[in-house]
Structure 1
């Protein structure tokens, strides 16, 4: 008997066979009709699992967007979060109905009635979504295609914000933060990073102007600096570089110019990279001396400023330091750990943390990653981490 032929009496009999009573059920029964062409067009519909946060996003009318290059798969993004998307199979049949009435939309009392629902498709798989870290390697690749060196006419691809949103696997707010983290510049409608040598030149111009005018390092006028240096470099570059390497003090001059202070750690970090990038390996003691001499008078250098860009090897004599930026490492966890332990046999927690903390989540912190992908041992009271398969 097809469901369209069912009567109220038929439903009552089924209720009885199921050892239920009418009082236990709402008075509306919805029957399903499988028409001859019910599966047609079902392949055009994808089902995905929505947690409470995603459901609330949809209820508010906000968008959910799939992002990522075809070869990289896709992620699902809200305005501020990224979700990994996986195809999941289920042994249960997921029945797709154009219309359905849920219990909270039904009357609790009344005579039993029937509503016929036509089945549009049946699915045995759905998209499973899980929160994940933003995947930003693509952003770095795209921005590195054409670093800005002061020449607007130089060849190479440039990307506007929509280009980046289409291809980088992260939400809009996460992309905004990532652009700040990689020191990206909005130039002529496009997002670019500065060529390293050019960036150092611009920062040096700011530092030289401060020294020439004998401004205190914690009282640098913003408008005056940008006005002078914009005569030789694009104003957009100067103004954004100024914001990256100085911080507002909250004070203003009598002329209404905002006063800024140097971001000591960022300036020291940049000066260190200038020394380390071309050097390969550097005697640590010699480096520390030259590094301190290279920064503006009044700034103090320390190795903590080099987290994630430099590696110190204390196992050799003399001790050495080398340029080792975390931003160049793969996002694949297993490949990341394999490369780290190929580079260095033993790591302390403080040494390895800057190179894996971008992989950590609230559910899987750095300590949990080390438990899973490394082996711990203690020597002379110091805990070291090595590869799990090292003999």
Structure 2
């Protein structure tokens, strides 16, 4: 932020950067949380600064004068304030939406309505209040995770339901030899004919693992080969995790996350069999999704599922998770897990100014 050089300077807002000028701002914050100042598209922690020359000082706070016609007031500000950019937490947003995930309707409308009352469904304003970030940041995160709006509330497909629907879609692709990996793709209505699933579930899978496009007035689904490959890879890890959990229960011990991994060569062999013939798999496809762990001499290298996007965005919490996973890291291993945080720090207004 730019500091004022004169006590006579006049500002229309409590800040002077272009990011704020003429914007509406509001402050949110739960009793047990930090106060957050929000503009239309960014959020900032408000932090008390103990150094005197960083305090916000006002020399004119007389609000008893006549109302101004344009609804604005100008006060004289001396000194400067420091705002700390708040990185939105997409993991917290996902957790809120998955409190009541979208599943295939198997009940009557009355039963669904009754069940819905037991779970919290969130509108945009609800999410802004719960996450304490700006509306634009909430909408941006919702768009990135391909959430969809239903009756004024935001929904995500339940993870197991989503995996089941997409698996059925891939099975239909193989069965009918559909050319879904290249444009224009496959008409969505063909999936509707083959699968006993609602349109919204099929559309969401198309968006999550590829794209939807309108061709001659009809929706077509094109799948991304890399996303198909990563989905199949994750399914292998899910199967191995389930097996490791079962073995741990049988032995009455706590499962070590690394026990849920695969031997690298075995994983690559099985992975190749799971993807379409036209897709060539390689570990670069799993950048930021898996952790390759070399073993001691004589033992085969292992690979474990460790997705970067499920780690907290806060640097301290992220590093805690990383070192809970393993005590020592090489720079090559660490790079995909800290790149996101470093980029955000570079983009933060607090860092730039």
**Same fold by TM-score greater than 0.5:** yes
| Secondary structure at the counterpart of residue 198 of structure 1 | helix
1:72 correspondence with 2:37: no
CA contact (8 A) 1:161 1:191 kept: yes
The match for 2:338 among 347, 356, 370 is 356
Residue 286 (str. 1) matches residue 247 (str. 2): no
Distance apart, 1:318 and its partner CA: 0.6
Equivalent residue in structure 2 for 1:325, among 301, 307, 318: 307
Higher share of residues assigned helix: 2
Q: Which of residues 185, 207, 214 in structure 2 aligns to 1:243?
A: 207
Q: Over residues 79-113 of structure 1, what are the superposed CA-to-partner deviations in whole Å (9 max), with x where a residue is unaligned?
A: 3222222123536753233379xxxxxxxxxxxxx
Q: Which residue of 2 aligns with 1:299?
A: 279
User: C-alpha root-mean-square deviation of aligned residues, in Å?
Assistant: 3.5
Gaps of 5+ in 1: 1-29, 31-46, 101-120, 366-391
Q: Could you say which residue in structure 2 is the equivalent of 1:234? A: 198
CA deviation profile, 1:130-158 (whole Å, cap 9, x unmatched): 33422334213212322333247355322
Structure-2 change in CA distance of 1:322 and 1:228 (3 Å): same
**Deviation (angstroms), 1:344:** 2.3
Q: CA deviation at 1:220?
A: 2.1
- Aligned residue among 116, 137, 149 for 1:174: 137
CA 1:258–1:237 in 2, change beyond 3 Å: closer, same or farther? Answer: closer
- Aligned pair count reads 293
Higher relative contact order (CA 8 A, sep 6+): 2
- Point out where structure 2 has 5 or more consecutive residues left out of the alignment: 1-7, 65-74, 241-259, 348-353
Higher strand share: 1
User: Pick from 89, 93, 97: which aligns with 1:143?
Assistant: 97
Is the partner of 2:49 in helix, strand or coil?
Answer: strand
TM-score norm. by structure 2 comes to 0.70
Q: Which has the larger radius of gyration?
A: 1
Residue 347 (1) aligns with residue 300 (2): no
- SS of the equivalent of 1:241 reads helix
Match of 2:227 in 1: 266
Q: Distance in 2 between matches of 1:326 and 1:215?
A: 32
Question: What CA distance in whole angstroms lies between the structure 2 residues aligned with 1:261 and 1:213?
Answer: 15
